[in-house]
Structure 1
Amino acid sequence: MGLTTDFNEKQIKILEVAETLFAEKGFDGTSIRNISKEAKINIAMVSYYFGSKERLLESLILYRTSDLKFQLESLMQENLEPIEKINKLIEVYINRINCNKGIYRILHFEFATNKRDLNFDSFTELKKGNLKSLEAIIKEGQSKGVFRKDIIIPLITPTILGTFFHFHMNKPFFENLLNLKTEDLYNNYIKTNLTKHIQQTIKALLIYES
């Protein structure tokens, strides 16, 4: 059975509580009972909706990542120059990840340890779809003669995400270095300076040197 992205209000409540608990206590440290108690939803109901904790995590990944897919698809329809589309795509990516740090931390850990029988097929399909969107933008830029022909497209996403994650993994260091004393200042720095820096980096990779 394919996972659905249409969740009802109760399911969304369960997913959001699960996300918070997974991010705080880890996947192993969280039980369906904890989730049901925190969500104030009967444990049988949680099991009925999602089955196991593994399936719940799969649904959570889908819930959190499917809106990225919609955002990219609508971006594709916009009447913008290829480089403007890329800049917007970077903005969307960074914003999505920064708003969903919890789920990305869980994912990162689950992928790295790979000790569980999690079905990441839907997530992999989604990533392939996102890559196709990126590819379409870059090919458009190439056909217009503005982007280089020798770009390794699958490496663009890790370049974007790698910069963000390195910055985020070293949060205390950068907070201190850049004097980002509050969470608002930190998030604002990501939104403006870090995003702009990544856009400039990607632009330098894509555009012919004049």
Structure 2
Amino acid sequence: MEEISEKQLSILKVAERLFADQGFHGTSVRDIAQEADVNIAMISYYFGSKDKLLESIVKYRMKASQKFIQDLLVDDTMKPLDKIYAMIDRFINKMMGEQNFQCIMSREQLNSEKSPVRDLIWELKREMLGLMQPIVTDAQEAGIFHKDIDVVMLMTSLFGTIHQIIPAQKLLRNDPEFSDLDEATFKENLKQRLSIHLKKLFKAILTHEF
């Protein structure tokens, strides 16, 4: 999407939070306008409709990740496994830092009704996978990664594991091992554990080394 102004970004973030808390259909444009301290006409001017506002949220959140993968792909200074590690850390930080967006993504993808937003999410996901695949396939051709790798399942393991840990945080927080940690320290500890786990898993799959 095109560059957005601070006012547009403010509206996007308010809408994202309300869509996550109340659901898309449970949130009105009036609700968003009141929370963002703007008039309804301004939202209509910037985004056109509530559907287009949701589409803008999806595009905004996924655009930066696409750019990150594109830059990673052409970086000749990094080894393939280091690129994979960088991607793991990127998505751990992104997904755990954007939990409202992850909530919206889950709802829209599970929506049984055909919708432009659901179709947009899958289109952008296909584009993302298309960007990620060469990181693996180029290393396979160079003999660095093994040939017997299902790239789709590999990426599903990455996103699925991170996605699962988000709602599990409350359960893990009750573990006596973490009860004395403040919230920020707990989250950093959890990110580190997840990073170590996924890197070990991916190294084993890609190189057959543990």
Cα pair distance change 1:59/1:24, threshold 3 Å: same
Work out whether 1:58 is the aligned partner of 2:22. Answer: no
**Contact preservation (8 Å) 2:109, 2:118:** no
Tell me how many residue pairs correspond in the alignment. 207
Cα pair distance change 1:114/1:5, threshold 3 Å: farther
**Contact preservation (8 Å) 1:58, 1:120:** no
Equivalent residue, structure 2, for 1:150:
148
With normalisation by structure 1, the TM-score equals 0.90
**Contact preservation (8 Å) 2:108, 2:117:** no
Q: For structure 2, which runs of at least 5 residues remain unmatched after alignment?
A: none
1 CA distance for matches of 2:197 and 2:165?
12
Equivalent residue, structure 2, for 1:29:
26
**Higher mean C-alpha deviation, range 158-167 or range 11-20:** 158-167
Equivalent residue, structure 2, for 1:169:
167
**Contact preservation (8 Å) 1:167, 1:174:** no
2 CA distance for matches of 1:165 and 1:119?
20
Q: Using the TM superposition, give the Cα deviation of residue 208 of structure 1 relative to its aligned residue in structure 2, in angstroms.
A: 3.1
Aligned AA for 1:94? I
Equivalent residue, structure 2, for 1:204:
204
2 CA distance for matches of 1:124 and 1:6?
23
Fraction of identical pairs, as percent = 33
Residue 116 of structure 2 aligns to a residue whose secondary structure is: coil
Work out whether 1:91 is the aligned partner of 2:82. Answer: no
Aligned AA for 1:70? K
Q: Deviations over 1:92-151 (max 9, x none)?
A: 111111111101101101211233633344433322222122211111211221211010
With normalisation by structure 2, the TM-score equals 0.90
Residue 191 of structure 2 aligns to a residue whose secondary structure is: helix
1 CA distance for matches of 2:124 and 2:108?
17
Q: CA RMSD in A?
A: 1.8
Residue 110 of structure 1 aligns to a residue whose secondary structure is: helix
2 CA distance for matches of 1:190 and 1:88?
17
Q: Deviations over 1:144-171 (max 9, x none)?
A: 2121101001111110122122222222
Residue 194 of structure 1 aligns to a residue whose secondary structure is: helix
Q: Using the TM superposition, give the Cα deviation of residue 9 of structure 1 relative to its aligned residue in structure 2, in angstroms.
A: 2.1
**Higher mean C-alpha deviation, range 78-87 or range 182-191:** 182-191
Equivalent residue, structure 2, for 1:195:
195
Alignment of 1:1-40 (within 5 A): 4-40=1-37
Q: Deviations over 1:22-62 (max 9, x none)?
A: 12222122110011111111111101221221111111010
1 CA distance for matches of 2:185 and 2:14?
27
2 CA distance for matches of 1:33 and 1:94?
34
**Contact preservation (8 Å) 2:109, 2:121:** no
Q: Using the TM superposition, give the Cα deviation of residue 209 of structure 1 relative to its aligned residue in structure 2, in angstroms.
A: 4.4
**Higher mean C-alpha deviation, range 98-107 or range 165-174:** 165-174
**Contact preservation (8 Å) 1:17, 1:39:** yes
